[in-house]
Amino acid sequence: MSFELAAPEFLPMHARDLDEVAALEAHLQAFPWTQGHFADSLTAGHSVWVLRSGSQLIGFAVVMVVLDEAHLLNIGVDARLHGQGFGARLLRHVMTVAQRHGAHRLFLEVRPSNDRAVALYRHFGFREIGRRKGYYPAQTGREDALIFDKELA
């Protein structure tokens, strides 16, 4: 499905965005972050962003920066807009923001079953550096997480 969208813009996430972001996350994930998780990220001072076209929420990202490293904690794009480059735009944005905050490397975890995300990260030059056994809840037990990193230069 394709939408006519006004020029999308990255905005810092605020408390007023939490309901909408949590609802989008719930549509995207079988085991979503709650509104409380996003609120905790705001309170902790993480770099938390929304991508909007006018009033329409396109996506969001949560990045934790500690010293010279960053960790992408969560990222999502409205499923109706998948395949239109918004995930790539969000990823580029968070990499830039992490660099501006002094990070030299970005880490993330991803489900091996999330082929679209794995392909996106590999396209951006992320490399698989490990695996966390049983990291994610799954419909039948637990699913591993692939650990990726990328040097931010």
Is residue 107 assigned to a domain? yes
Q: Please state the rounded mean pLDDT for residues 81-89.
A: 95
Number of structural domains the chain divides into: 1
Q: What is the pTM of this model?
A: 0.93
Give one word for 102, left, alpha or beta, with left for phi > 0 and alpha for psi -120 to 50: left
* Beta carbons within 8 Å of 114's beta carbon, 6+ residues apart: none
| Percent of the chain predicted with pLDDT > 90 | 93
Is residue 4 assigned to a domain? no
- What domain range includes position 65? 9-151
Is residue 142 assigned to a domain? yes
Q: Return the pLDDT at 153.
A: 81
Name the band, by pLDDT with cuts 50, 70 and 90, for residue 4: low
How many C-beta neighbours within 10 Å does residue 2 have? 8
Q: What is the pLDDT of residues 45-83, one digit of tens each?
A: 999 999 999 999 999 999 999 999 999 999 999 999 999
Q: What is the CATH number of the domain that holds 120?
A: 3.40.630.30
Name the band, by pLDDT with cuts 50, 70 and 90, for residue 1: very low
pLDDT mean across residues, the chain: 95
The residues that are catalytic are 109, 121
